[in-house]
């Protein structure tokens, strides 16, 4: 993970089109990508975010239906 690029909560919020508060809520409920605290910031490895997004797409029945035509 040392070579992974890290993004902050605000950057993840922009990527997911959510508010930073929504990202924090997702994290506390265990519904978002895994991140870790570094001082006052929560950082998210880009590889973790990409894996989380891929899993969300793989488990979405509408996404599966759209690609199986």
Residue 44: phi and psi, rounded to 5, are -125, 120
| pLDDT on residue 10 | 97
Q: Residue 12, Cβ neighbours under 10 Å: how many? A: 22
| pLDDT on residue 41 | 95
Of 37, 40, 31, 35, which is closest to residue 12 (Cα–Cα)? Answer: 35
Question: Is the full-model pTM beyond 0.85?
Answer: no
pLDDT tens digits for range 25-67: 999 999 999 999 999 999 999 999 999 999 998 888 776 665 5
| pLDDT on residue 37 | 95
Q: For the CA atoms of the chain, what is the radius of gyration?
A: 13
Q: Bigger pLDDT: 3 or 59?
A: 59
Residue 7: phi and psi, rounded to 5, are -125, 150
């Amino acid at each position: 993970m040392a070579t992974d690029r890290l993004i902050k909560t605000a950057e993840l919020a922009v990527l997911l089109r959510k508010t930073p508060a929504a990202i924090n809520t997702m994290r506390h409920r265990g519904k978002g990508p895994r991140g870790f605290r570094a001082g006052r910031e929560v950082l998210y490895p880009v590889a973790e975010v990409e894996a989380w997004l891929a899993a969300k797409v793989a488990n979405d029945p509408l996404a599966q239906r759209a690609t199986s035509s």
